[in-house]
Amino acid sequence: DAKTTQPNSMESNEEEPVHLPCNHSTISGTDYIHWYRQLPSQGPEYVIHGLTSNVNNRMASLAIAEDRKSSTLILHRATLRDAAVYYCILRDRTGSQGNLIFGKGTKLSVKP
């Protein structure tokens, strides 16, 4: 399975933008880039996913490098509620890979 590399932790100030990087140099042409996050004592929740083009939704934006070997999850204005572990995961778009494989993720701390 193609792997991802993320920093172990990051800090942000409240109401400032946050850029969470992810490297996936062995990504294949059929891999989607998925982001999930896990708030303390909760199950993971879906954030966003993309293939080639940048994506926006109400939670975040996903910026994908032209060569697709890296991506960045952007939280436009961090809130205290955004403190969580963020996971970047590759998922084959053909559905041949049945399960999501979670790495260690990036633990985001948000300071008031």
Partner 1 sequence: NAGVMQNPRHLVRRRGQEARLRCSPMKGHSHVYWYRQLPEEGLKFMVYLQKENIIDESGMPKERFSAEFPKEGPSILRIQQVVRGDSAAYFCASSPATVYGYTFGSGTRLTVV
Question: Which residues in this chain contact partner 1 in the complex, by CB under 8 A?
Answer: 34, 36, 38, 42-46, 49, 93-105
CB 82 within 8 Å of CB 15: no
Our CB check for partner 1 shows the closer of 14 and 30 to be 30
- H or E element that contains 72: strand 70-75
Our CB check for partner 1 shows the closer of 13 and 28 to be 28
Tokens of 85: 């572990």
Provide the minimum distance between the beta carbon of 23 and partner 1 in the complex, in angstroms, as a whole number. Answer: 18
Provide the minimum distance between the beta carbon of 16 and partner 1 in the complex, in angstroms, as a whole number. Answer: 27
52-74 burial, b for 16+ CB within 10 Å, e for fewer? eeebeeeebbbbbeeebebbbbe
Our CB check for partner 1 shows the closer of 46 and 52 to be 46
Provide the minimum distance between the beta carbon of 46 and partner 1 in the complex, in angstroms, as a whole number. Answer: 4
